[in-house]
Amino acid sequence: MSAILLNHIDEVKSDIKQWKNDNLKIGLVPTMGALHSGHASLIKKAKSMCDRVVVSVFVNPVQFGPNEDYDKYPRTIEKDKHLCDELGADIVFAPSAKEMYGENVKLSNTDLTFVCPPYNYIDCMCGKSRPGHFDGVATVVTKLFNIVQPDFAFFGQKDAQQLFIIKKMVKDLNMNLEIIPCPIVRETDGLALSSRNSYLSLDERKSALSISKALFEIEKLYKNGVTDTSILFDSAIAHLDKKIELEYLEFRNFDTFQKVDEISKNTLTAIAVKIGKTRLIDNIILR
């Protein structure tokens, strides 16, 4: 069966109302489109847990900074819809920015009610170089939760800081759903799937391979008993291709988001880099 493509909030709400009346479990997979196998794994997981699955496809303007890739971000709705059909999603919700934020809104927090995650969790890692990004993410995700009222929402672990912040938001604001984290999906050579990989030239893609290599090196050393993060940091950096500009490589407790000097259980090891103009992130969780 084909998924229904809906562009309007009211249409989605009316289907949701019917599903709620029928006591069906609803899953939401929020995306910005340009779907790849990583997204497919989220949709499959949602299908396995829910009676109905909504995939949102929305390049959210309020989570992009003024000099970021909002205009350039790949938009491939026909292909995305096709993949959602194949995977058995029920609704593809692809609103316009006007539908989500209204006609005259200037998309700043002087015009719009924003959901702002706490400073401690956004003034670091990706939030440091992308001011306002997580306010934009938390705001759109809250709007999507209010529209779709899902029982479960599925997020990839690749955006580990996003995942942490959304889980915290759901807990802090008593939102009525469960967040389901899903593992990173990688190419066979180790590169983490990302819609932004399409920006890479062949040469840049070769350099990008050293990101996961650096993380796997950390994992290998950790398995061999090295827990000192300064040693792990130096060994990882040595594996990064020379063309890569490191933004951060950090070790944080994935339960508290505090930085750690020694790896203990559930340590997030996260990296962000720039290759040419493309910014990529990746991580592994050391358990």
Q: Catalytic annotation on 8?
A: no
Question: Which is catalytic among the residues 8, 36, 39, 82?
Answer: 39
d(CA 190, CA 280): 14
Provide φ and ψ at 60, rounded to 5°: -80, 105
Judged by beta carbon, residue 41 or residue 60, the one nearer ligand PAF is 60
| Residue 3, CA distances (Å) to 38, 94, 251 in order | 19, 12, 40
d(CA 64, CA 137): 9
CB 28 within 8 A of CB 166: no
d(CA 252, CA 265): 10
Minimum distance of ligand PAF from residue 4's CB (angstroms): 20
Minimum distance of ligand PAF from residue 35's CB (angstroms): 10
Q: Which residues bind ligand PAF (CB under 6 A)?
A: 30-32, 60, 63, 137, 140-141, 159, 162
Torsional sign, CA 52, 55, 60, 63? positive
202: which 2 tokens? 């062949």
Judged by beta carbon, residue 31 or residue 207, the one nearer ligand PAF is 31
Partners of 262 in beta bridges: 228
Minimum distance of ligand PAF from residue 138's CB (angstroms): 9
Q: Which residues are catalytic?
A: 39
